[in-house]
Structure 1
C-alpha cells in the first residue's frame, strides 16, 4: 500500500508539472498549431511522465482496471484506423501523428483509471485543472492590459500562451465549469474554496474580454447543466451568481477602458458555413471510403477551386485549409462514413450511460468536458493543443460510469520498460523540436541559412522546415540548390497545397529557367487561391520568406 501511495503522489506530481508549468511555456515561434507551438513540446514531455507513472502503477498492482466503455473506445479507435488500409502514400504518412495523439488520449483515459484517490487527493486533482485555467486567465488579462512583459506573445485578442483565442476560451470554459462543480458539490477546505472562487471570477472576466463565441457558448452550456444538476444548492448557486455578476461588471469596466481598445476584430462567421458545405460535398463524392487519410487539404483546395469557378461570389478565405473546422467532417472526408459513425455512436452511447447510470460527480465531469467537445465541432483544439487532449481524456475518465472491472495478470517488466522508453524517446524529441523552432527564428532574424544547417529534428515541423529550407536554397541561387528547393516545393504542393508552397515552386522554376513550368504553376496557384494578395501581381516578387510564415490561424 505504501508503494501504491507513493505512485499516486508521483502521478499527481506529474499532473502538476503539466498543469502548473509545462502548458504555460512560451517561446517565440512562427505560429500555426501542434508542435509548431512551443507549449505543446513541453506539454508532451509532461504527458510522457504522466503515462510513465500510470504504466509503473500497472506493473506494481499486477491488475488492469477497466470498464466496458474502454472496450467501446477501443472499437472506435479501430474504426478510425481502418481507413489507413486504403489510403495512399505519401499522404497517409502525414496522418500518423494524429493516430499517436489518439493512442495517447486512450492511454490517459485507461491509466487514470488505475489510481484510487482519497478525498483530499481528488480535491487536489480538480484544483490542478482549475489552476491551469487560472494561470492562462491571468496571462490573458495581462495581455488585455498591455503589460510589457507579455508583449512578445503575438495577439490580436487575448490568447494566453496558447496563441489562439478560441483555444484558450474552451480551456477557460472547462476550468470555470470545474471550479463551479467543486463549489456546488463539496464543502471545501478554506484554501480550495477561495481558489475556486478566484478561478471563476478571473477566468470568466477573461472569457468575456476574449470575445470567443465558442468559449462563451461552451461556458454557458456547462454552467446551465451544472445549475440544473445541483439545483437544490440554492445558497451556493446564489454565491456563484454573485461571482459571475462581479466578473461581468469587471469585464465591462475593462472593456470601456482605453487599454482595452482595439480588440473588436471578431472574424466573420460566413466562411465556416461555406467550409462545412464544401466539406460535406467532398464527403458525398466518396461516402464509403473517403478520399484517404491526409488528403483533406489537397482535395479541399481542388474542390473549392471548382466551386469558385462555378460560383464566383462564394465566400472564400485566401489561405489553405488543412481541417474543415469540424472533427466529424474531417474524418468523413478522409475516411468515409465509418470513422464519424463510430465517433457519433460512442458519443451518444457514452452520454446516455452517464445520464442514466452515472453519479452526480460523473455527470458533472461530463458537463465540464462539454466546452472542449463543442470546440471540436467548430475548430481543431485537439490538434492545436496537447493540454486540451489531456484535459478531455481526464474528464472522460472521471465521467465514466459503470462497474470498474479488473483483470489480474502477472505482468513482466514490459510496462516499466515502456514507461522508461516513453520518457527517453519523447523528451529528447520535444527538446530538439524546441531547438528547431529557435533556429527558425534565428534564420528570420539573421537572414542567413547557417542556423538551418544546425537543425537535428525536422520531423516535428516538416512543413515549416521544408519551407524554410526552400527559401534558404532559393537565396543560394546555384543550380543544385534550386533543384533541391524545387523538390521541396513540389513535395509541399503535392501534400499540402498552399500559397507559400506554390510561390516557392514558382520561384524555383523561374530562377532555374523553366519559364513555361513556372507560368503553369502560377496559373494553378491562382486557380486554387484566387483571392490571395501575393498572387495578384502578374509577376509576383520572390518572397524573402514563406508566404505561410507565420501560418494563418484565423478565428472563424
Structure 2
C-alpha cells in the first residue's frame, strides 16, 4: 500500500518525514502484532504492549534529536491546557495518601509517556499529505487486525496459537484478546474508510487503494456485527452519522465510491448477522437499568466512594482496595448483581475511575484537555471538525464503558495520533536557544538513554511473562521458570504469590509450618491493596493448617462478604462447617470417634 502511494518518490519527504514513516510503520504495522502465549489481563501481561512502548520510546528519542538539530520545539496551540492532564495526575499522585507504588509508577509512566509521544509527533513537521498517508497505515493495521478476527471467528485459530491468540469459542477477539477492543477498533476502521473515501485526493490514487477501502469496510462491518458488541455497534452508527453530517458535500462528489462503501457495509453486516441477536439482548439489559446490567451497580458504588474523598481521591492504584471494601455493604443493601461478578480493578468508566483515584484534581486535567480539544474541533471547521470527532468517537465511548487503554496500548497510541491530527493546525514554535548549550545537548542524550533502558526493561518483561506461562503450564512444578519474573518489578507481586503458595502447600505436605507463616505474613499485606480471591482462599487454608481457627473464620467471612458466590470460598465454608459439626458431635458423644471400635468388635 505504501508503495502504491509512492512514498519513496515523494519530493516532500525529507529526512524527518522518512524517519517518521519508518517508525510509525513499525509502531502500527509490526509492534501491535507481536504475540506470545500469555495469561491475559492488562498492561505488560499483554505482550504487544511491550513492543508498542519500545517503538514509542524511540519515536520520542528521535523527536528530541530533531528538537536539538532544529533548535525549535513545535507545539500545538493549546499545549498548556492539554498539559493539565498529566499535571493533574502527577499532583494527585503526590497529595493522595493511599497510592499503590507500583500502580502509581506505571500509571504516571503511561500518561507522561503518552503526552511525550503526542508532542513528539509535532516535531516531524508533517504536512497534510503525510498525515493522510499515516491514516492509510492505520487502515492497513485495522485490516490486519480484522483478518485476525475473521480467522478466529471461522477456525478459532486453533492451529496458530504461536502467532495469534486462540479463540476456542470462535469469538473475534483479535490480537487484543478481547471482543470489545476488537469491535471498537473495527468501528474506527469503518469510519476511517468512509473518511478517506471522502477526501478529494482519492481520485488520484489507484484502483487498488479504492478496492482496499471496500475490503476494509466489509471486514469492519462483519467484525462489528459478528462480535455482538454494543460499544462497537453504537460507536460505529453514531460515528458514521457524525462523519456524514460533516462531510456530506464531499461525499456527494464521490457518490459512486460512497454507494460502493454503503453496499459493503450491508454485505459485511449480513455475513456477520449471527452476532446481532446477542447485541440486541445486551441493549435490553441497558434499557432494563440497575437490575439488568452490572455496570450500573459499579457506577453507583464508585460514585459513593468518590464522595468520600472528592478533592484528592483515594490515591493512584487504590481502586481495587476501596471498591472491594465498600462492595460488601452495597451487596447487603441489595446490590445483588455484584455478587456474581469477579474482583474489579476498574469501574469500566474512565471518568469515574479517575474520580475515585484522583478526585477533582485529576478530573480538572481531563476536562481541560477535553475542552481545548473541542475548541480545536470547532476552529478547524465544520468538515474537519465533525470528521476528526467521528474518528476518535469509538475509542472515547469505549473508555466510558470499559478499560481499553489498560488492556491495549494500540488503542492508546491510536487515540493520541488522532488527537495529534486534530491539534496539528495553528501550531506554534518555541526557540530552544533560551536554554543553555549543556541543557540543549542533554535533552537528546537523556531520551536516548531512556529509550535504551525502556527497550531493555520491556524485552525482559516479556521474558518474565513467558516464564510465568511456562511455570503454570508445567503444573507449577519448576520454580526455575520464575527466576526472571521475580526480578521484574512489574511481575514481582504475582510471582511472589505463586512461589509462596507453592512453598506453603509443600510445607503442608511435609508438616512444616514455616512456609504457611511466610505466606500469611505476605498475604495480609498484599490483600490491603489487592483483594484477590485466590489470595484470600490460600490465606484461609494457611490459617486452617496452623489451627488458627478464629483468624481462619474471620478471613473467610470477610472474603465471602465481598465474593458471596465464589465457589472456591463456598467450598471451604462447607468443608469447615462440616468439620466443626462433626467435632461437636464427637464432643457431645453423638458420634463415635473414627479410631474407636464398635462394642461388637471389642
**Given the two structures, how large is their TM-score scaled by the length of structure 1?**
0.89
Matched residue of 1:294: which SS?
Answer: coil
How far residue 290 of structure 1 moved from its aligned partner, in angstroms, is 2.1
The residue number in structure 2 matching 1:145 is 154
Worse-matched range after superposition: 53-62 or 352-361: 352-361
How far residue 24 of structure 1 moved from its aligned partner, in angstroms, is 1.2
Question: Is the aligned partner of 1:16 residue 2:25?
Answer: yes
Choose from 444, 450, 453 the match for 2:472: 444
Matched residue of 2:307: which SS?
Answer: helix
Worse-matched range after superposition: 135-144 or 74-83: 74-83
The residue number in structure 2 matching 1:355 is 378
Q: 1:4–1:440: structure 2 CA closer, same or farther, 3 Å change rule?
A: same
How far residue 86 of structure 1 moved from its aligned partner, in angstroms, is 2.6
Worse-matched range after superposition: 71-80 or 410-419: 410-419
Q: 1:179–1:349: structure 2 CA closer, same or farther, 3 Å change rule?
A: same
The residue number in structure 1 matching 2:326 is 303
Choose from 288, 302, 310 the match for 1:279: 302
**Given the two structures, how large is their TM-score scaled by the length of structure 2?**
0.83
The residue number in structure 2 matching 1:209 is 226
The residue number in structure 2 matching 1:159 is 173
* Alignment check: 8 A CA contact 1:11 1:54 kept: no
Deviations 1:91-136 (A, max 9, x none): 2542221111111221121111112235553332111111111111
RCO (CA 8 Å, sep 6+): is it higher in 1 or 2? Answer: 1
Matched residue of 1:65: which SS?
Answer: strand
The residue number in structure 1 matching 2:75 is 66
Choose from 453, 457, 461 the match for 1:425: 453
Choose from 233, 257, 260 the match for 1:242: 260
Choose from 517, 524, 531 the match for 2:565: 531
Worse-matched range after superposition: 413-422 or 373-382: 413-422
* Alignment check: 8 A CA contact 1:510 1:518 kept: yes
Worse-matched range after superposition: 31-40 or 82-91: 82-91
The residue number in structure 2 matching 1:399 is 422
* Alignment check: 8 A CA contact 1:130 1:176 kept: no
The residue number in structure 2 matching 1:200 is 217
The residue number in structure 1 matching 2:43 is 34
The residue number in structure 2 matching 1:379 is 402
CA distance in 1, matches of 2:574, 2:90: 42
Choose from 111, 131, 142 the match for 1:102: 111
Question: Is the aligned partner of 1:288 residue 2:322?
Answer: no
CA distance in 2, matches of 1:357, 1:124: 20
CA distance in 2, matches of 1:250, 1:354: 31
* Alignment check: 8 A CA contact 1:534 1:540 kept: no
How far residue 265 of structure 1 moved from its aligned partner, in angstroms, is 12
Deviations 1:211-238 (A, max 9, x none): 2111121122221111111111225355
How far residue 492 of structure 1 moved from its aligned partner, in angstroms, is 2.5
* Alignment check: 8 A CA contact 1:366 1:396 kept: no
* Alignment check: 8 A CA contact 2:220 2:268 kept: no
The residue number in structure 1 matching 2:553 is 519
Deviations 1:197-254 (A, max 9, x none): 3222212211211121111211222211111111112253553353343343344345
* Alignment check: 8 A CA contact 1:354 1:401 kept: no
How far residue 63 of structure 1 moved from its aligned partner, in angstroms, is 0.1
* Alignment check: 8 A CA contact 1:84 1:92 kept: no
Deviations 1:14-54 (A, max 9, x none): 11112111111221111111111111111111211222222
Worse-matched range after superposition: 225-234 or 114-123: 114-123
* Alignment check: 8 A CA contact 1:319 1:498 kept: no
Matched residue of 2:195: which SS?
Answer: helix
CA distance in 2, matches of 1:307, 1:501: 22
The residue number in structure 1 matching 2:488 is 458
CA distance in 2, matches of 1:108, 1:362: 23
Matched residue of 2:266: which SS?
Answer: helix
The residue number in structure 2 matching 1:252 is 270
CA distance in 2, matches of 1:8, 1:123: 13
RMSD over equivalenced CA pairs, Å = 2.7
Gaps of 5+ in 1: 543-556
* Alignment check: 8 A CA contact 1:141 1:206 kept: yes
CA distance in 1, matches of 2:334, 2:131: 56
CA distance in 2, matches of 1:3, 1:195: 25
Worse-matched range after superposition: 322-331 or 471-480: 471-480
* Alignment check: 8 A CA contact 1:204 1:244 kept: no
How far residue 463 of structure 1 moved from its aligned partner, in angstroms, is 4.4
Question: Is the aligned partner of 1:337 residue 2:360?
Answer: yes
CA distance in 2, matches of 1:254, 1:349: 39
Matched residue of 1:68: which SS?
Answer: coil
CA distance in 2, matches of 1:3, 1:253: 42
CA distance in 2, matches of 1:381, 1:171: 10
How many residue pairs are counted as aligned between the two chains? 538
The residue number in structure 2 matching 1:548 is none
Deviations 1:508-551 (A, max 9, x none): 33334433322221111011111222211244789xxxxxxxxx
Choose from 470, 482, 499 the match for 1:469: 499
